[in-house]
A and B are shown apart, each in its own frame.
With several copies, the nearest count.
Chain A
Amino acid sequence: MVHIADGILAPEIWISGFILTGVLLIYTLSKIKIEDVPKISLVASAVFVSSLLYVPLGPSSVHLLFVGLAGILLGLGAFPAVFLAVVLQAFLFQHGGVTTIGINSLTMGLPALISYGIFVVVIKKLSWKKRFVFGGSLAGGIAILLAVLLTSTVLVVTGKEFIGLVVLLVASHIPVIVIETVLVGGITEFLQKVKPEMLVEVKK
C-alpha cells in the first residue's frame, strides 16, 4: 500500500518525481558493472514477487516490501532494482500507478540506498558475532519506516486533505516494520552462512 496510485498527486509532484528518479537512475546505472546485471535483476524479481505475497497476521494480512533487503544485497544497484520492480508492478499487476512511477521509485528506492549505508556501517564498525543479524534487522526495519515517512510526506505536501490517509498508512505499516526487522535479520544471517557472496561486498 505504500504505492501511490494515479490521480492523487499534483502534476508538479509526480513530474519532479520522474526527474529525480531519472537522475538517480543514471548515476546508479553508471556505477554498476554489466556482470552484476543478472544478480540485480534477480533481487528485483524477488522484491517484486514478495510484494505480491501476503503474510497472515492475526485476522488480517500484510504484504512485505523487502526494500531494506534489496539494499543489503545490491548496494547502489538497489535503486534500479526497486525502480524496475515498481515499473513492472504498475504495468503487469496494476499495482501502484503509471504517472506515479517516479515518486514511488523514490519513496522505496531512497530507503533502500540508506539501509545499504546503515548495513555497511554496522558491519564495518562492529566486530561481534551477531553483527549480521543486527545490521540486517536495523536496515530492514528502518527501510520500511523511511518508506512510510517519505510516502506520508509526499501525500501531506500534496494537500492537507490527505492527512486521514496518512494516519491509515502509518498505522497499517507498524506491523510490517516489526516483521521485516525480524525477518531481514534472519535472512541476512542465513545468507551470511550459506552464500555470503550474495550480500553486498563490505570492504573492511
Chain B
Amino acid sequence: MSDNRDIIVKNLSYTYPDGTPALKDVCFEITKGENVALVGQNGAGKSTLLLHLNGVIENNNGCITIVGKQLDKKNVPDIRKKVGVVFQDPDDQLFMSTVFDDVAFGPINMGFSEETVKERVKKSLQKVGLSGFEERCPHHLSFGEKKRISVATVLSMTPDILLLDEPTSNLDPGGRRNIIETLKTLDSTKIIASHDIESLLEICDNAILMDKGRVVATGRSEDILTDIELLNSHGLEAPSIVKMLGDDVIPLLRDNFDSSQIKRHEKTIKKAISKKRKKEIFCK
C-alpha cells in the first residue's frame, strides 16, 4: 500500500447532547506502527476523541479515516475488528461472569478455534500478570485488577490499532511497569491518553497535546513532553525527573533507571544539572 497512514482525523468537532463542547476542529494523522501520546488537562477531550475513533460516539461533524476506510455506519463493524479500546473506567469494559469469558469474548467473536482462544486468553493474562484469575468474577476484583483485565481483554484480540485511555491509572508500580513493557513489545499502532507523562515518554515516539477540545501542539514526544513552559501553559506539569534533568532524561527513562544504570548515566545527570544551573543564572 502506498498510503501508510493508519488514522486520519480531519476537522472533527463534537458537542455533547447537553451542550458541552468537547472537540473543536481536531486534525491529525498517524502512520502505521506509530506510538502516540495524547495529553491534556482533565476535560481536554481526550476520552471523547478516543471514543470517536472506535465509532462509539457517532458524529457527522468531521471526517475520520481508519486504515483507508472512512468511519461511517456502514464501515463501523469492519473498523471495530481492527481497533481495540481500553476504556478509562474498567467498569465500562467488563461484562461477562468470569475473567476467562471476558478475555475470550473478543477472540471468540473473531471466529478463532477453541484452541487458539484458550491460548490467547492464557497469554494475555500472563502479560498483565493475572494468570490464575480465569475463574474469578471480573466484577469482584480490586480496581487495579479490573484495570489489568480490561487491558487483557483487548490484548487478546491483537488489534492493528490500540486505543488506550489511562492504561496505567490505579495500577501499582509493578503492574504499571508490566503494562509499559508489554506495550513496548506490541507492533500495533497505539494512541495512549494518559496523565502519566513519565510512562508516555518511555513508550511514545510522538505526542498530541490538547487543551479545551483543541489540538494545541503535535510533535516528537521528547520535544513536547519535556517542554516545561509549554506544559505549564496548558495546565500540565512535567514529571519531577524531567524538571530536574530536562530532556537528558530520555535515555535514562528508556533504560528504566536500574541502579546500575544510574552509574552509567552519572555523566549525563551531572551535565544536566549544571546545564540547568547555567540556564538559571543566565535567565536571571
Contacts and interface: CB of A to CB of B under 8 A. Distances in A.
Nearest to A191: B97
Interface string B133-150: 000010100000000000
A190 B139 CA distance: 13
Contacts of A193: 97
Contacts of A190: 97
B147 to A, nearest CB: 20
A190 B101 CA distance: 13
A176 B213 CA distance: 45
Contacts of B137: 194
Interface residues of B, number: 4
Contacts of A197: 17
A193 B137 CA distance: 10
Interface string B4-22: 0000000000000100000
B284 to A, nearest CB: 53
Interface in B209-263: none
Nearest to A190: B97
Contacts of A194: 97, 137, 139
A194 B17 CA distance: 11
A190 to B, nearest CB: 6
A194 B101 CA distance: 13
Contacts of B17: 197
Contacts of B139: 194
A194 B137 CA distance: 7
A185 to B, nearest CB: 15
Q: Which 5 A-B pairs have the closest CB atoms?
A: A194-B97, A193-B97, A194-B137, A190-B97, A194-B139
6 contacts: A190-B97, A193-B97, A194-B97, A194-B137, A194-B139, A197-B17
